[in-house]
């Protein structure tokens, strides 16, 4: 049986395994989250302020190129596996990326580049509110932050 499996996999370019060598489903999942100055290893949206969660998931849904397929019974990853993991988490929190994309509210997308180490999207909420969401390398993004949402839900410096 093992020999047959190896022969079948003879044309594979990449094989993903966990530390025990068990083959995986080529999917990623969010297993912990640092938000509002707290580390969550059991991610429960009830432990995050609604306003913070909405802003967080809006950023995830708008600032992504992945196009997973969502049915009543499944969430099939399609595209970048990291983006799909984030979109699946947002979906479990009640935010479906399909509501945000494609959208005339997305005014500009600056794709990820290894030089910039980030991806950015400009999203027009309404006539008076524009949000800019960036994701990427923490060493690049944190240096550019002037505020963050603390554990009291307030913007801090």
**Catalytic annotation, residues:** 18
Both tokens assigned to 4: 């047959």
Contact 123, 102 (CB under 8 A): no
23: DSSP letter: B
Both tokens assigned to 124: 């027009």
């Amino acid at each position: 049986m093992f020999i047959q499996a190896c022969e079948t996999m003879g044309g594979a370019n990449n094989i993903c395994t966990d530390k025990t060598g068990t083959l995986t489903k080529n999917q990623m999942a969010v297993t912990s989250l640092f938000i509002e100055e707290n580390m969550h290893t059991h991610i429960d949206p009830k432990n995050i302020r609604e306003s913070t969660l909405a802003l967080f998931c809006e950023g995830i849904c708008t600032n992504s190129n992945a196009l997973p397929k969502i049915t009543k019974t499944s969430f099939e990853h399609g595209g970048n596996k990291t983006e799909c993991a984030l979109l699946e988490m947002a979906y479990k929190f009640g935010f479906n990326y399909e509501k945000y994309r494609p959208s005339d509210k997305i005014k500009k997308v600056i794709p990820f580049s290894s030089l910039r180490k980030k991806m950015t999207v400009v999203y027009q909420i309404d006539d008076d509110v524009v949000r800019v969401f960036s994701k990427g390398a923490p060493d690049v993004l944190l240096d550019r932050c002037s505020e963050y949402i603390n554990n009291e839900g307030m913007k801090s410096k």
